[in-house]
Structure 1
């Protein structure tokens, strides 16, 4: 049953409206080229339908157009939030690890070993311990905090400071 064959009205129950707009939701999700987390975005769309149904005012225009713009707007907002989140959480420490691994892949294992040894001698004992726990032992920030008896925030902040120090020019060993 298409939306055209079943007119939408703000006087219908929410369940009737939601049932009627399912093809519209699918169409919007397809047009926005969402191919993962399909159920999550369908839920976002359902919430948008509910909000539109609550706020609908028949005198202000066509209800189906209002629902369409509400659904599309909410999904676009969510996509924007996800994009901004992914841009903000760029993992800095992986870049450093990849650099160290690329040195080894180039057949310069001795040079890399010397490089790492030189870097480690310039780090304080606590800093070395954090780096080893994170990169070698594979612990996350919470686990490192527990091991060192620190708060999660302090543990993460110390690890980030060590990574920042490793990027400073004094650590660029020839």
Structure 2
């Protein structure tokens, strides 16, 4: 391992030079690590009979970085990130929620206005008793009474249908 650490110290300037020649301006640390992997592979696969290690290391490091650039560019081309304005312009036009509300209101026939408010706030808006009390500006016990009345009447409706 000492031998590779010496290579890292010796070839770090080469890795940074390759990054500058390839105009890498994002993800410096990732590409530096890719360069180290290229250096590691160059050390493992080097054949002294075919030339100098410096030339082989340069080619190996640069090749590894080019492959990584290709993959990251393909990845970025496939993924589209909409701008922030896009999300603010989207309008929720969900016909299912309209049908859901109509269905919910059919169950509320025979309930008082306040009991209906509890049913809608609880089942459609998923609000707690505390939140309903806060929005309606009433006490928590008042909302609990709405709930008790609504549940009693809804049970009676279900029993009558059966």
Secondary structure in 1 aligned to 2:32? helix
Instruction: Return the offset for 1:124.
Output: 3.8
- How many aligned positions are there? 97
Deviation at 1:72, TM superposition (A): 0.6
Greater C-alpha radius of gyration:
2
Residues 99 and 54 (structure 1), Cα distance of their counterparts in 2 relative to 1, 3 Å cut = closer
Aligned-pair CA distance for 1:98 = 2.9
State the superposition RMSD in angstroms: 3.0
Pair 1:59 & 2:49 matched:
yes
TM superposition score normalised by structure 1: 0.48
1:16 to 6, 10, 15: 6
Q: What does 1:42-57 align with in structure 2 at a 5 Å threshold?
A: 42-57=32-47
Could you say which residue in structure 1 is the equivalent of 2:131?
none
- CA distance in structure 2 between the aligned counterparts of 1:66 and 1:20, rounded to whole angstroms: 14
Q: 5 Å matches for 1:1-174?
A: 13-91=3-81, 94=82, 98=86, 101=89, 120=93, 123-125=94-96
TM-score normalized by the length of structure 2: 0.51
Whichever structure has more helix as a proportion of its residues is 2
| Structure 1 residue 90, shift from structure 2 partner | 2.0
Unaligned runs of 5+ in 1: 1-11, 102-111, 130-174
